[in-house]
A and B are shown apart, each in its own frame.
Chain A
Amino acid sequence: MNTLGVLRQVVAYLVLLVVTFLICFPLIWALSTSLKAPKDVMATPPQLLPPQPTLENYRNLVTGKQQYFRADQSYVPTTAAPQHFMSWFGNSVVVSLGSTAISILISTLAAYSVTRFRYWGRRIVPYFSLLGYMVPSIILVFPLFLVMTELRLTNSLWSLTFGYVSITLPFCMWLLWAFFRSIPIELEEAAMIDGASRLRVFIDIVLPSAAPGIIAAAIFSLIVSWNDFLFARVFINSIENLPLTVGVMHFFEGTHVDWGLMMAAAVLMTVPMAILFMLMQRHLVAGFGAGAVKG
């Protein structure tokens, strides 16, 4: 085992602390701003710790209260954005979960089929999925918009759900293909010789051993669809159907930008991803290992 001397350890910890602080500073600063009362947000010198911490910004977002911005003791109404915040949040949740569910369902069954059955063309699927996950969304967004227009789905959450499936499916497919291929087929064959049906074998043997891969694919899919801006910007045009990413841009409307409120929105938007990240860190790294990363 490689060990370091005490002095070196101290230096290493110091460097780590400084680096971590620098990298996390934008998030720390956002959190700090979001907890400040309006008068402290713009204060000079800016303070890292809010002098009078308040949850008012968060309360206003959650209750959707109409905002007033205090400038020079007078009240100026800001944008209507906070009223929609919770429905944007809901839209983001619905669309992310929906598209992830569809993506995982299709890619799990497709990967199983491609690795377990023999038919013409099964070899090209993984190559297309690799190609598909390299293609940037800017290339896909307008053709898909035209398709959605023909299907009369534009401006609905369905368009986003299906749109995200077309971004997330290729890399779920690629990851799960690699995963299913590495699961030895002998166990399944033995079970089938013993009289188990294919469905039983799939549920009892294949799914449990593929679980880590499926979880990793689901996490990536959730992250991608939660974080997307472009598809939502192009597909959706009514304010109440927006997901968070495009919705929060409405905070820039009006004459004053309420940075405290804005930062509270940014923090709330990050929280679900942070929870996911903490719960799933191990699987996340496993997914990186399999090369299934888009970004």
Chain B
Amino acid sequence: MPFAVAALVFMVYPVAEAVRLAFYHYNPLNPDGTNFAGLDNFRAIAADPLFWQSFRQAAVWTACSIVLQTAIGVALALLLHLPLRGISIFRGLLLFPYIVPTVVIALILQWMLNADVGVVNWSLRGAGLIDENVYWLASPGLAMLSTIALNVWKYTPFVTICVLARLQTIPLELYDAAKVDGAGTFRRFADITLPQLADVLAVVVIFRTIWTFNKFEEIYLLTRGGPGTSTFNLAIYSFEQSVASLKLGVGAATGVVMMGLLFVGSLVYVRVFRFDEEPSQ
């Protein structure tokens, strides 16, 4: 029992502190000047155009990432589900990006996307697709694209693993029966595989949406939210408010908004799957 209490302390206390902080003016250089702010911090972010810009950008970033991750993840899972010799080696290699530290892939992408000596520009030039070097991380649209690419690269394996695990539980008899009835490959995919995958895909999409929306490192390490503020999301907005502007209360208020959105996401999850049931498997 004491350990259950310890566990609760570690899990609940920081969150409670975060919420409390959102209602205070707090400057770490002047902790004595801390005073109750009521809803001031929330008013401040609601009036800040950068907050809304970050919000929109986060929505775009999340939507693009999730669509790509799901599409590629399902395709990879189908590929890895083929009855081939040595498939487990490929499985291992294709799932590897998930455990690569974000810092590492961010460093590698900065090197590959380097405008002057990067291998990406060189390949595109060699293929005749571009005439001049592209400044991937220095132009707003392309920087957004690059961070999406990083995110998709790193987290698609998550989708693949979940889908693959589900694919392995679909009874083969269903396919045999469909074959006997003369259904082609595509029909079998659309009528058997997809409906069977629907529930696991719903879980994966909800969870990935919640986490992707709140991601920090995946963007910060590649672009610092830049150029300008073109790749800011709410997490980076909150970080910049706390670190650069030293307005910890405003940062925390942003955090509370993020938690509210997260809570809505969880409600969707609870709605779709009754909460007290075991999670998939």
Give me the interface of A with B, judged by CB distance under 8 Å: 1-4, 9, 12-13, 15-16, 19-20, 23-24, 26-27, 29-30, 33, 42, 44-46, 106-107, 109-110, 113-114, 117, 119, 121-122, 125, 128-129, 131-132, 134-140, 142-144, 146-147, 149, 165-166, 169-170, 173, 178, 223, 226-227, 229-230, 234, 244-245, 248-249, 259, 262-263, 265-266, 269-270, 273-274, 276-278, 281, 285, 288-291, 293-295
Contact = CB atoms under 8 A, between A and B. Distances in A.
B255 A270 contact: no
A289 B107 contact: no
Given A2-B83, A106-B6, A277-B96, A134 B266 contact: yes
Given A44-B122, A106-B7, A139-B258, A290 B279 contact: yes
Contacts of B165: 285, 288-289
A109 B6 CA distance: 10
Contacts of A106: 3, 6-7, 10
Interface string B78-118: 01001110000010111111111111110111011010010
Nearest to A46: B119
Contacts of A293: 158, 207
Given A110-B4, A136-B211, A139-B255, A12 B79 contact: yes
Given A106-B10, A229-B103, A113 B1 contact: yes
B76 interface: yes
Nearest to A109: B3
B100 A166 contact: no
User: Interface residue tally of chain B, by bracket?
Assistant: 35 or more
A289 B281 contact: yes
B228 to A, nearest CB: 20
Nearest to B161: A288
Interface of B: 1, 3-4, 6-8, 10-15, 17-18, 20-21, 26, 28, 76, 79, 82-84, 90, 92-105, 107-109, 111-112, 114, 117, 119, 122, 126, 153, 155, 158, 161-162, 165, 172, 175, 203, 207, 210-211, 214-217, 220-221, 235, 238-239, 242-243, 248, 251-252, 255, 258-259, 262, 266, 278-281
Given A15-B79, A45-B122, A259-B111, A295 B158 contact: yes
Contacts of B215: 136
Contacts of A27: 96, 100, 108
B172 A23 contact: no
